[in-house]
Each structure stands twice: as C-alpha cells, then as structure tokens.
Amino acid sequence: MLIREIQQKDNVSIAKVIRDIFHELDAPKVGTAYADPILDTLYEVYQAPRSVYYVVEHEGKVVGGCGVTPLENADASVCELQKMYFAPEIRGTGYAEKIIEKCLEFAKKTRI
C-alpha cells in the first residue's frame, strides 16, 4: 500500500470511500462529512497554503485518506486532522497511524 498526496483524479474515489462508510455504518448524512459541499473537490480544497490531503492507495485503488490544515479562526499554529476515513479492507492494518504520522510531519515542516 502507498500513502501519497491526493491528485485531482482521486476526488471521485475518496468521496466514494467516505460516503460508503456512512452507508456501511448507517450514520447520519445531513450535517456530516457525507453532505459536506467540499467532499467532491478535496484535491482543490487541499491546495490551500499549509494544507495537505493524503490518500492510501492499494493495488491502484484509493481506499482511504486523511488531511491536515490550519484550524479556521484559530491561532496560526493550530491545525486539525480532517476527513480521515478508511475502507473496511484496510482497517486494522496500521495505516491510520502511518497517515497521522505523515500529517504531523507535514504540520511540523510547514509550522502549522
């Protein structure tokens, strides 16, 4: 499996991973990431300064992801992890920890 920065071609795939999880868990859709208007444009959203979104790719298929960006309306040195979701087939493999480490490395490097 490969952790890499999101590419524009990944928008549809990662949005599907996220929405599929809401269906899997029968979770509320309104007022959650499921209905978030940015969900279909994560590549574009994470082109903002000091922001990044990583995807996990397995055998050419996007199976999860997580982003980090400065926290809105907060001190410039505060960041948050965003939209961290993983398809069932990679849960329990340690990739959540790996992607969080990658996000934290990015945050330290860009001084979020």
Percent of the chain with pLDDT over 90: 90
How far apart CA 6 and CA 83 sit, in angstroms, is 13
What integer pLDDT is reported at residue 53 of this predicted model? 98
What integer pLDDT is reported at residue 10 of this predicted model? 98
Mean pLDDT of the chain: 95
pLDDT over threshold 80, residue 74: no
- DSSP 8-state secondary structure symbol assigned to residue 87: -
How far apart CA 92 and CA 109 sit, in angstroms, is 28
Q: Give the pair of three-digit tokens for residue 83.
A: 């939209």
CA 11, chain centre distance (Å):
11
State the pLDDT confidence band at 65, using cuts at 50, 70 and 90. very high
